Structure formats: structure tokens, C-alpha cells
Structure 1
Amino acid sequence: MSGDRAIEPADEHMVDAAEAGHSDTVAQPHTADEGGQMIAAEAAAARASTQENPLGKPGRRFDRRSPFMIGMAGAAGVAVTFGAIQAVLAVSQVLVLITIALFLAIGLEPAVTWLVRPWFPRWAAVTAVSVVSVVALGLFAGFLAAAIPPLVTQGGALVHNAPGYVNHLSQRYPLIGTLNTRFHLQDRLQQGLGSDPAGLIGGVLGAGRLVFSIVSETVIVAVLTCYFMADFPQVRAYFYRLFPRSRRPRAILIGDEIFVKVGGYILGNLVISLITAVLTFVWLSIFEVPYPLLLAVLVAILDLLPVVGSSVAGIIVALVALTVSLPIAVATVSFFIVLRLVEDYLLVPRIIGRTVQVPAIVTVVSVLLGGALLGIVGALLAIPVAAALLLIIRETVLPSLDER
């Protein structure tokens, strides 16, 4: 005798109803062997499914004020916050590259927008700007390929001759001789620049890894910048849709103003740095100051740093010019003072304009904080970020505080 029980008419009706609530693509075949409780539940599911609510009406909400729910919410908040912090720390380097690419895309956006016409679509404008950028990058790479050997030669010569320069200056200028006698500058330079084969090999390997890292990160930033430029209208629209509809127009006005400030500052800063580097190279070549190309590249890099960059570059170049003669060193200091005045009162207003207006104390503090957080990248982005924060505070925070 079979162990299966006979299905009563009432059971047959329940099985038919359960089959109506049982998915055709899950756990087939559907039989009465699943158990009476399961059959009854699926029959109730079939009755709950209606045309208005195919998956049934939502049940009663959980009591969010119960101790259990409060404890679970608190524990989940702590876990999510900790996980988010760990995730940000794990991908911090990638986030820096994405930020750089986004800032570059914002900086190139005025050029793309200027090229867009009814007969010249955005993809063509992005392609044109990308091609120009790639050509400029290629020219810069060619310049570096031609300049790296002299840079290495001049840098090695500068390092090799540094103790001799200190001795020469000590004999020529009593003040430097006193400092050398008191602090043993020449001996410390010789110890610091002493040849260590193991250290030399490690330095070469480290330089190779550094070059590979710079090249790979440059390629990543270039690709991301092209994507950001191509999809900038969509990125901008999605960003503004994060704001409530009632606040969205105000967010658009403030956000577009921030984009203008960031783009104008980045491109203007790069152009001004290039101009100062060329003028420095011409000056040093005229007066036959040693290592003109190396010092010009150093000035270009340091001039990107706001407030203190050009001053530090001028001090370094003046010290090298001091090895030629005191009058040339004084003339070099005067040159950098004039160059700083030209940069502040002629180049910056004409190239960057008044798009970025940040008080001096905020500039210094933001550069220090940005440099401490993200190094050179943080120092370069500190002023546009500070300008954006000041704009947001002036337009949103201060008016609400004044109304209280």
C-alpha cells in the first residue's frame, strides 16, 4: 500500500489555489507533499496578489521606537560609518586621481563649451580639446625627453659641487664662513651626499618605480579627464538633482559659479607658471648663472604653489647666483621681486581675473592644510576649494545666521 494519503476535495481546492500563488519558474513541480502549512501560505499569497498590488499590500511597519530597532539602527550606523571610512582609506589614491581629473575637466570645460555649436556637437568639441591636450602633453613629454639629460647632468653636478660652493662662499663672504664654522655646513653636506653603493642602487630602483607610477597615473588621469569632459552635462545634471527641487535653482547658480572659479584658477595658474619659468631661464642664461634649465623647472613647479612658492624659488635661485658674484645675486633677487609684482598685478588679473577672491590669511591656511593632507596636489587645489567654501558660506550660511 502506498504511503501517500488521498487528496480530499477540500485539499484539491487548496492545492489549486496554492498553485495560483506558486511561481511557474521556482521549485517545480508543485505538489501536496510540500506540507499543509506551506500550501495554506501559498494559497493566501494567491489571494493577496491583485492587479493593483501584484506582490501584495505592505504589512504593518516595524516600531522604530522599540529598544531593539533603536539598538539595531545605532549598531548599523556605527558599522556603516566604520566601513565607509575604511573604504575611503583603501581607495584614497584612486580618489585623488579622480579628483584631479574632475578638476582638469572643469578647467577645460570653458574651451569645450566655446567650441560647441549646432553644427559642431559636443563629442567633436571634446575630441578637439583632447587632441590639443594630447599634442601639448606630447610636446611637454618631448621637452622633458630633451631636458632630462641636461637636468640629470646639472643636478648631479650641483650635488657634486655643493660642498665646494659652500667652501667658496665661506672664503668669499665672512658671514657664511662664520655660519660654516659654527654649524659645519660643508661637513654635513659631504656626509649627506656621500656615495653609498647600496643606497645608490636603492635610489635608482626607487626612481624607476616613481617614473612608472607617474606615467601610469598620468595616463589614468588623462583618460578620466576625457570621460568627465564627454559626460560633463550629465554629471552636472545628476549632481544638481541631488538637491531638493525647491533648492535646485539656487544650487545651480552657486555650483556654476564654483565651476567658473575652479576652471579659471587651474588654467590660469598653469599659464602663469609657464611664463615665469621662461623668464627665469632667459634671465639666468643671460647672466650665465649655473644650471639655468634645472632652476627654471624648479621655479615652474614652485610657482604653482600659491603665496610662498615664488618666494622660495627666488631664494634658491639667488643662492645659486651668489656663486657667480654678489652683484648678480642682488640683481637676481631684484628680478624675482619685479617678477612677483608683475605676476600679482599684471599676469594674475589678466589671466585668472577676479574669479578667485580669497583673503591672504585664508590662502596661507588653506595651502598649509592642503599640503599637509594631500601634499603638492592638496596645495595646488587648496585655493579653488577655499574659494568654493567661502562662496557657499557667504551665500548660504551667513544669510541664515543673519536672519536669526
Structure 2
Amino acid sequence: MNDTKALGDIARFVRRLQWALVALATGWLVWLMGPILTPFVVAALLGWLGDPLVDRLERAGRSRNLSVILVFALMALLLALSLLILMPMLQRQVATLVQSLPHYRDWFAETAVPWLEQRTRLELSTWLDPEYLIEQLRVHWERAGGFATTALGYLSRSGFAVFAMVANVVLIPVLTFFFLRDWDVFVERAASLVPRDHLPVVSRLAEESSEMLGGFLRGQFTVMLVLGAMYGIGLWAIGLDLGLLIGIVAGLLTFVPYLGPASGLIFGVIAALVQYGDWKHVAGVLAVFGIGQVIESYWLTPKLVGDRIGLHPVAVIFAVLAGGQLFGFLGMLLALPVAAVANVLLRYAHERYTQSRLYAGRAPAIVVPAERATESGIVIVGDDVEDDGEGEDKA
């Protein structure tokens, strides 16, 4: 009996070790093929987000191909309209930023640095002196030369980088169309590989992960658009030349909790101080982001996002940063899907744990007083109780 139990434990350990090795090998391959996998991951996310609308059109009586064409055309139209509206606007804002850089430099050197020096007692202006910087460059010429060599080597490879970026841009719409068309086929083939004994549990977890993450991404994307427009229009209304650019950046960064409004607030305050130098416009910037945060907290996020992903903002920030550190841009794309699936698995593990004997323990023994045990015919042996069979007859 003991030998059989020991062999079972060894077999269980070997199976777990095999799964761990498979997971490590998969992570290593993803890390190696990150640049190649990026367009496939983006297209898969777009296909997954568009598949519910395709299924809805199918249920309305349209064919799968026609439904895919309609959804794909809608996505392409929205993207084209966004580019047509945003690109000229962003181009003008970037040109304004380039023209304003000398003013920001002067403000930083003549206002911000003296203010910081006065309160921190640190000699910060020395590090910003051009003569001092040239002297440091001359002293560390070898290091600068090595850096220049590295930069030139990167620039010499930039042609391939540009070609790869263009190839990815071309691949994404093509791959998105095929993911939209064959998404149900991919799901069925993946389900056919699951062991039959585990199919109900895996199907339940997959549905929960899909509903949670799909609702979160759709809602969060809408929140990003609304807040970006709100911040941009608000900052433009109070007179900031870079208001639209700051608002759009703040809206996009809203995907990471607290990073969007914090960065937008900092950039907006600096822009107001450089452009106007008074506290009236700074108060306007604070009002814009304050109103935006109230609307997001009490209306946008509860209505559009809710608590669908079930992750704390700190966990979301950690997932995005950890994914970017481990796998670059691909890791940032995969961070939230992986975090959502991990959260569903942790909830399932918690559910199983609370139903296990390890959590509940053994069934509590029935404690019967000695007098009542004697009257009922229960024989007390040590700390246990035992019925001699006569208690029921006497009752």
C-alpha cells in the first residue's frame, strides 16, 4: 500500500515537472519570437473583440463571410476616420511643441531650477551649464565614442526596423480578417484538444476569462476615448496651445490606472506655467482633470467597465510593467489577458481550496455528556464515543 502511494506521488510530481518545463519553454519561445508575434497578437485581440458582433449578425440571418466583411469594414472605417481626424491635429500639435521647446528650456533653466535649488539646497544649475556639459563630454570621450558607435550601428540597422514595422502594419489587417472569419474554428479545435474529463471545467474558466477581459477591454477603450476628448477639449478651452496633445496622451495613458490623469495633470500644469505663468490657468488645468476624474469615477468606469477584470489597480500596473520588462511591447499587449486568466484561475483555486478537507478539516466529533451517554447506551472508550446498539432499542 505504501509503495503504491509512493509511486503515485512520484508520478504526480513528474507530471507537474513536465508541465512546468512546458511553461518555461513556451515563455522562452515567446521571448525569442516577440517581434514576429506582435502583429499576430494584435490581430488576435481585434478578431476576438469583433467576434461577438460577427456572431450576432450571423444569428440575424446573414452568412459568416458577409458578417465578417461588415464587421471588418466597420473596424477599418473607424480607424480611417480616427486617422483622418487625429493625424492633422496631432501634426499641428507636434509642430507647436517643437516651436515651443526653447520657451520650455528657458523656463526650466530660469524658473524651475532656481526654485528647486532654493528649496533643496542643491546645485542643479551646474549640471545644465553648456560649458560644463562640454567638459564632461571631453573627459568621458571614450564612453561617448562607444555610445556613438552603438547609436550608429543601430541607425545602420534602422532600415530593417522600418521595413519590419511596415510589414507589421500591412499584416495586421490581413491577419485580423482571417481571425474574424475563423475564430469559431480556432476555438473548436482548441476545445477538441482538452481532455474530456476536464472539458466542463476548462470551458467554464475560458468563458469567464473571455467575458471578464472582453468587457474590460471594450469598456476601457471607450473610457480612453471619452477622457482623451474631454481632457483635450477642456485644456484647449482654457487656452493651452498644447492642450489637445496633452489631453490625447492623458486619455491613452488612462489604460494604466492613475498614470493617465497624473501625467496629464503634470504636463498641463507645466504647459500653463510656461505659456501664461499665472495661477489662474493652473487652476483651470486642475479643474479640467478634477472634473474628468469625477466623471470617470462615478459614471464612466462604473457604467462601462465596472469590476469586470477584478484586479486591483496596483496589480494592473505591475502586470503591464512586468510584461514590458520581460517581453517588450508584446508583453505589454499580453499583460492584461494573462492577468485576467490568472485571476480566474486563482478564483477557481480558492473555490476548490475552500471546499477541500485541508480548509474545512475533519468532521467535528459529537461531544456527549457522560450521564446522557450512559442513559443512551453509548459506550465511552478513551476520547471517542461508540454506540453499543442498545440505545436505539431503549429509545
TM-score (norm: length of structure 2): 0.69
- Structure 1 residues 299-337: Cα deviation after superposition (integer angstroms, max 9, x where no partner): 233222233233222222222122242232133124213
Shift of 1:377: 5.3
Which of 136, 139, 159 aligns to 2:78? It is 136
Shift of 1:199: 12
Give me the whole-angstrom Cα distance separating, in 2, the residues matched to 1:141 and 1:219. 16
Residues 90 and 367 (structure 1 numbering): CA distance in 2 closer, same or farther, change over 3 Å?
A: closer
Task: Give the match for residue 173 of structure 2.
Answer: 222
Does residue 367 (structure 1) correspond to residue 320 (structure 2)? The answer is: yes
Give me the whole-angstrom Cα distance separating, in 1, the residues matched to 2:167 and 2:307. 35
Give me the whole-angstrom Cα distance separating, in 2, the residues matched to 1:193 and 1:289. 33
Tell me if the contact between 1:155 and 1:294 (Cα under 8 Å) persists in the aligned partners.
no
Tell me if the contact between 2:72 and 2:177 (Cα under 8 Å) persists in the aligned partners.
yes
Tell me the SS of whatever aligns to 2:197: coil
Tell me if the contact between 2:43 and 2:172 (Cα under 8 Å) persists in the aligned partners.
yes
Shift of 1:353: 3.4
Residues 321 and 209 (structure 1 numbering): CA distance in 2 closer, same or farther, change over 3 Å?
A: farther
Shift of 1:115: 1.9
Does residue 105 (structure 1) correspond to residue 47 (structure 2)? The answer is: yes
Tell me if the contact between 1:367 and 1:378 (Cα under 8 Å) persists in the aligned partners.
yes
Listed as ranges, the gaps of 5+ residues in structure 2 are 1-18, 135-148, 358-395
Listed as ranges, the gaps of 5+ residues in structure 1 are 1-76
Task: Give the match for residue 184 of structure 1.
Answer: 124
Which of 387, 394, 401 aligns to 2:340? It is 387
Give me the whole-angstrom Cα distance separating, in 2, the residues matched to 1:397 and 1:231. 35
Task: Give the match for residue 265 of structure 2.
Answer: 314
Which of 63, 70, 76 aligns to 1:121? It is 63
Shift of 1:132: 0.8
Residues 140 and 130 (structure 1 numbering): CA distance in 2 closer, same or farther, change over 3 Å?
A: same
- Structure 1 residues 192-229: Cα deviation after superposition (integer angstroms, max 9, x where no partner): 999xxx99999999998766554432332222222111
Tell me if the contact between 1:370 and 1:382 (Cα under 8 Å) persists in the aligned partners.
yes
Tell me if the contact between 1:264 and 1:355 (Cα under 8 Å) persists in the aligned partners.
yes
- Structure 1 residues 118-153: Cα deviation after superposition (integer angstroms, max 9, x where no partner): 521222111111001111121222234423431331
Q: 2:317 is matched by which residue type in structure 1?
A: V
RMSD: 3.9
Give me the whole-angstrom Cα distance separating, in 2, the residues matched to 1:129 and 1:193. 56
Shift of 1:360: 3.6
Tell me if the contact between 1:315 and 1:333 (Cα under 8 Å) persists in the aligned partners.
no
Residues 118 and 263 (structure 1 numbering): CA distance in 2 closer, same or farther, change over 3 Å?
A: same
Give me the whole-angstrom Cα distance separating, in 1, the residues matched to 2:30 and 2:245. 37
Identify the range of structure 1 (211-220 vs 118-127) with the bigger mean alpha-carbon deviation.
Answer: 211-220
Residues 273 and 258 (structure 1 numbering): CA distance in 2 closer, same or farther, change over 3 Å?
A: same
User: How many equivalent residue pairs?
Assistant: 325
TM-score (norm: length of structure 1): 0.68
Q: 2:46 is matched by which residue type in structure 1?
A: L
Shift of 1:399: 0.3
Which of 333, 346, 349 aligns to 2:286? It is 333
Residues 360 and 142 (structure 1 numbering): CA distance in 2 closer, same or farther, change over 3 Å?
A: closer
Tell me if the contact between 1:367 and 1:379 (Cα under 8 Å) persists in the aligned partners.
yes
Greater CA radius of gyration, 1 or 2? 1
Q: How does 1:214-293 map to 2 (within 5 A)?
A: 214-293=165-244
Q: 2:320 is matched by which residue type in structure 1?
A: V
Q: 1:369 is matched by which residue type in structure 2?
A: A
Task: Give the match for residue 108 of structure 2.
Answer: 166
Give me the whole-angstrom Cα distance separating, in 2, the residues matched to 1:192 and 1:347. 50
Residues 180 and 134 (structure 1 numbering): CA distance in 2 closer, same or farther, change over 3 Å?
A: farther
Q: 1:368 is matched by which residue type in structure 2?
A: L
Shift of 1:90: 3.7
Does residue 150 (structure 1) correspond to residue 101 (structure 2)? The answer is: no
Tell me if the contact between 1:358 and 1:383 (Cα under 8 Å) persists in the aligned partners.
no
Q: 2:336 is matched by which residue type in structure 1?
A: I
Tell me if the contact between 2:231 and 2:251 (Cα under 8 Å) persists in the aligned partners.
no
- Structure 1 residues 329-386: Cα deviation after superposition (integer angstroms, max 9, x where no partner): 1331242133123213311121223322213442333233223224455445433432
Tell me if the contact between 1:261 and 1:387 (Cα under 8 Å) persists in the aligned partners.
yes
Give me the whole-angstrom Cα distance separating, in 1, the residues matched to 2:92 and 2:151. 20
- Structure 1 residues 232-256: Cα deviation after superposition (integer angstroms, max 9, x where no partner): 1111111222211122122212212
Shift of 1:109: 2.0
Shift of 1:180: 9.7
Identify the range of structure 1 (317-326 vs 235-244) with the bigger mean alpha-carbon deviation.
Answer: 317-326
Task: Give the match for residue 72 of structure 1.
Answer: none
Q: 2:49 is matched by which residue type in structure 1?
A: G
Residues 86 and 395 (structure 1 numbering): CA distance in 2 closer, same or farther, change over 3 Å?
A: closer
Identity of aligned residues (%): 21
Q: How does 1:6-45 map to 2 (within 5 A)?
A: none
Identify the range of structure 1 (265-274 vs 214-223) with the bigger mean alpha-carbon deviation.
Answer: 214-223
Tell me if the contact between 2:205 and 2:345 (Cα under 8 Å) persists in the aligned partners.
yes
